[in-house]
Chains A and B, each alone.
Chain A
Amino acid sequence: MSEGLLRTTLPDRAGAALRDTFLQQALTIATTKFIDLRRESFEGFPQGEALRDRARAIKEATLQHLDVHLERLADNVERLGGTVHWAATAEEAREIVLRLARDRGVRMAVKSKSMATEEIDLNEALEHAGVTPVETDLGEYIIQLAHEKPSHIIAPAIHKTKGQVAELFSRELGGRFEADPEVLTAVARRALRQKFLEADMGITGANFAVADTGTVVLVTNEGNGRMVTSLPRIHVALMGIEKVIPSMSDLVVFLDILARSATGQKLSSYTTLVRGPRRAGELEGPEEFHLILLDNGRARQIASTLREALYCLRCGACLNVCPVYRQIGGHAYGYTYPGPIGILLTAMLKGNESVRELAHASSLCGACKDVCPVRIDIPRMLVELREHLDREKIAPWSERVVFHAFRRLLLSPAAFRLSARAGRWLQRPFVRAGRLRGLPLLLGRWTRTRDLPPVAARTFRELWKELR
């Protein structure tokens, strides 16, 4: 089932988010907190800047031989007794999981947080096939019960109040629970503990996969990543191809900056290195380990202007500092991945048409680039994306006409001077107390909430005659 393009418009979705008072409060509190945590963490970490450079270099170097590293990873996973699957598309990836579930008699699967599984709409497919997927990351569990999508890459339920969560748990789990995060966490712990112990299959993503050793790495805080990879008899890890890194020496570079960028922690509570299914001497662990390597539009970016977006560690730091994300939250972006990097990932996975509006959901302020642990130049790529929208004629005809006309104006000082004079004349009905208000058409979008200075009685170039 391929996701069609959205039927709602970005301005409408953004407007709804702006009118949602709780969301506005939640976004301010959460993003501010994450920003402060990250800043404190890097302030006490002088080697941080050099590490960001090294991390970026490792990602770039890995891409330059991506096929070689993936091949080595696959060989090592298979040597350990794991199985590697190659999913060119979202549909293929879903098929692989469904087939495994069917063949192994899986009735219930516990899932550790994975954006890749969201990207391919795995839960819906599992449910249709009669397999119950249970999200175990607390935030994901909450939104699963609420039948919603995540609104932030690392804190999926940021948009919900504790009251809403209490109500939700009370309704879905039966009981009357206080709106107290401690109480609600304990409720989730109890409910999900049973699921971990009973599940037939554990599904995870992968933060990294080490080619040298065949190790899949999960970075989590709750412990569900460990549960899901140790208790059920089958472990399936779904991983975008860009997550492979060559060695353990590379891994520790990323571990050094990932948690700091995401939550300000030096390391998350758990970093789990999974090397295939359980070994002969182990009492615990899955009998089977499956690694699904997912392309879904990634390979095509290797030689494109969006190449750098493949470095992304999914830390969420760019979301937290983005003035647009901070106002509208994740759902308004409309696709799986929100925020600055989300716009690039959406273009990557769904094509340029999908970001016709989203490519402009940015003031190009550059705060994202400032905090990205792998220094992805997101603003530059957004401008390149906009260039594609013009070149491929995806941008609306009316807009392209206006900009081409504007260019003509800028190439002719006479025309420029003339339009200033025309503006001075046309603006007269709209000038109030030295300001422009109530302008029509496009400029009305400005004057609805802001004044504009009027075209000056004499432009600088006109004044220059006296100044020279």
Chain B
Amino acid sequence: MAGRAEFLERIRREVAKTPGLFGASTAPRPPRPAAAAEAIRRELAERWPQALDRFRQEFERVAGVFHRVPDLAAVPDTIAAIARERGARRLVTWDPAILGFDAGARLAADGCAVVTARAGQEDEASRLRHRADAAAAQLGVTGADLVLAETGTLILLSGAGRPRSTSLLPDVHVAVFGRDRLLESLEQVGVMLEDLHVDPDAAMSGAMINFITGPSRTADIELTLTRGVHGPKEVHAVFVEAP
């Protein structure tokens, strides 16, 4: 079995044999990621309306459903409406402390069962229970940590109180976000990712980052597009106007 040293030595030997095909460099990293990220946030604080318009356009292009509400208090009603329309009776949500709202009461009033992930409950029993709940849920509610206008993409960090499956197992995924999440370009996303990873354990409590661009899809059978292969069949984005 190859050991690390032997494996790398073989590569080193090959690399040493040639200067390569042409002089080339990798992409420049921002020398001060925190400052670069902050600069982007300041720019977007000005340009968020255009970014939002662009996001809506691209999100709808990938079959996302866009909603706009005045403030966080209005969100539970919107979720309830989506749940009713889609016949979803069991929901799973991220920790309300992270979401900034608690839809539990409003949905219970409609006769829906809501399971929330709470940060700090990560024992084995909770894990198994949450898995079963998430698998049974028909609608999942999350936030969105970054929202990319250029491609209509929601970027979600996993972690405490923000499980991966909420945006994956249910048939319908609803992501709620405000103006401070908007970004215009993939290049800006690159800067944000650099910034997040300067001290990743401080910045993120989980090990996964998911970029979600519309519902799950495939065209593997005769190139006919179908949605909801393994992930959600539908993705909703709820924009909260109030800063």
Contacts and interface: CB of A to CB of B under 8 A. Distances in A.
Contact of B168 (A29, A56, A223): A223
B28 interface: yes
Nearest to A227: B230
A224 B168 contact: no
A248 B194 contact: yes
A155 B153 contact: no
A61 to B, nearest CB: 4
Contacts of B18: 302-303, 307
A30 to B, nearest CB: 5
Interface in B210-243: 210-224, 226, 228-232
Nearest to B157: A273
B221 A185 contact: yes
A314 B165 CA distance: 28
A137 B231 CA distance: 12
Contacts of B2: 86-88, 92, 295
Contacts of B4: 74, 84, 86
Contacts of A222: 216-218, 229-231
Contacts of B224: 162, 181
B131 A197 contact: yes
A227 B165 CA distance: 8
Given A136-B230, A282-B163, A269 B11 contact: no
Contacts of A275: 200, 207-209
A436 to B, nearest CB: 42
A277 B164 CA distance: 13
A253 interface: yes
Contacts of B197: 212-213, 248
A293 B230 contact: no
Interface string A236-272: 0000010001111111110110000001011111111
A260 to B, nearest CB: 10
A13 to B, nearest CB: 23
Contact of A221 (B14, B205, B218): B218
Interface residues of B, number: 86
B213 A281 contact: no
B207 A158 contact: no
Interface residues of A, number: 104
11 contacts: A70-B11, A155-B223, A156-B220, A185-B221, A185-B229, A226-B164, A227-B231, A249-B30, A269-B231, A281-B119, A283-B117
A51 B240 CA distance: 34
A278 interface: yes
A229 interface: yes
Given A71-B8, A230-B168, A299-B14, A281 B206 contact: yes
A272 B153 CA distance: 12
B26 A247 contact: yes
Interface in B174-195: 186-187, 189-191, 193-194
A124 to B, nearest CB: 20
B228 A185 contact: yes
A155 B218 CA distance: 9
B35 to A, nearest CB: 15
Interface in B10-50: 10-12, 14-15, 17-22, 24-30
B221 A67 contact: no
Nearest to B231: A223
Nearest to B18: A303
Nearest to B118: A283
Most A CB within 10 A of own CB, among B24, B194, B221: B221
A119 interface: no
A33 interface: yes
Contact of A255 (B30, B58, B186): B186
A197 B135 contact: yes
A284 B130 contact: yes
